[in-house]
Amino acid sequence: MIELGTEGGLLRRFVDELERTTPRAVPAQPDLTAYRGQDREAARLAWASRIADEYRSVAVFSELLMLLADLEAPYATMCAVQRLIGDELRHTHLMARVVDWLGGREDLVIDLADVGLPPRDANESPAMRAVRIVGRELVVAEEESIAVLAAYRDATTEPAIRAVFQIVLADEVRHAAAGRAILAELACSPRTAPACVGLDETMAVDRAELRVGYRTLAIGGPGRMLGASIELADLETIWHRMADDVCASACTA
C-alpha cells in the first residue's frame, strides 16, 4: 500500500494543485456513529476495495500515456490522458479518506502491487495496445462505471458519502467523453487506424461481460445508506434511464 499522507514540504504544493482540480468540494468528515456497526463495517470494506480499483486506473492510464508518447500522439491527447491519471490518483486518495471516516485502514491489507493490468498479447504492437486500452478501459469501463456509480449514489442517504459519489461521477462522465474523442482521433491516424479494426466487437463483448458482473454483485446487503450495496433494481433503473437518454438524443439529432 502506498503512503497516502499529505504532510507539508515541497511536494505538498503538488498535492494542493491536484486537489484543486476536483469538480466539487470534498465534504468534511461526517459523524457516522449513529449508523449500526454492521453497516459501517460493510461500507468500510466496500470503500477499501475501491482504493485498489482507482489505483488500477492510475496504472492503466499511465501505461497509456507512455504508449501515446512513443506513438507521438497529439499534444491535446497527451494532456487529456495526463489529466485522467491525476483524477484517478485523486480518487484513490478520496476512497482512502472515506475508509478513514468509517473506521480506518490500519487493520486492512490493501495490496496495490498487482492491480491487474490488461493482459498483453505476445504479438500486440504499441499501437494496438494503446487502441485497446482506450476502447476497452477508457470508453467501455468508464462508461459502464457511470451507471454503477449513479446507482450507488442514488442508494446512498448519508450526505457526505453521497457527495463523494458525485465527485467521482462528475469525473467519470468527463473521462468517458474524453475516451470517445481520443478513440476517434486514433481511428483517423495512419499510425493507429489499422489497430482499430475489430475493436467494436471487442468493446461490445467487454460491455456485456461487465454488465453480467455488475448484475451478479447487485444483491443488496448491509451498508446501503453508506455506499456499500445496491440491488439489481437500482442498476436496471439507471440503465433504462441511460437508454432513454440515448434514444432521445438520436431522435433530436
Cβ neighbours for 53, distance < 8 A, ≥ 6 positions apart: 95
pLDDT digits (tens, 9 = 90+) for 220-245: 999 999 999 999 999 999 999 888 76
Q: Give pLDDT, residue 208.
A: 96
Residue whose cell numbers read 453497516:
39
Mean pLDDT of 151-168: 98
Res. 162: pLDDT tops 50:
yes
pLDDT digits (tens, 9 = 90+) for 178-189: 999 999 999 999
| Dihedral sign from CA coordinates of 22, 236, 178, 198 | positive
| Dihedral sign from CA coordinates of 105, 108, 109, 111 | negative
Element (H, E) at 68: helix 37-70
Closest to 95 measured CA to CA, from 231, 236, 1: 1
Res. 6: pLDDT tops 60:
yes
Q: Give pLDDT, residue 2.
A: 63
pLDDT digits (tens, 9 = 90+) for 46-58: 999 999 999 999 9
C-alpha distance from residue 67 to each of 85, 126, 156, 192, 227 (Å): 14, 6, 38, 11, 35
Res. 122: pLDDT tops 80:
no
Instruction: Give pTM, 2 decimals.
Output: 0.91
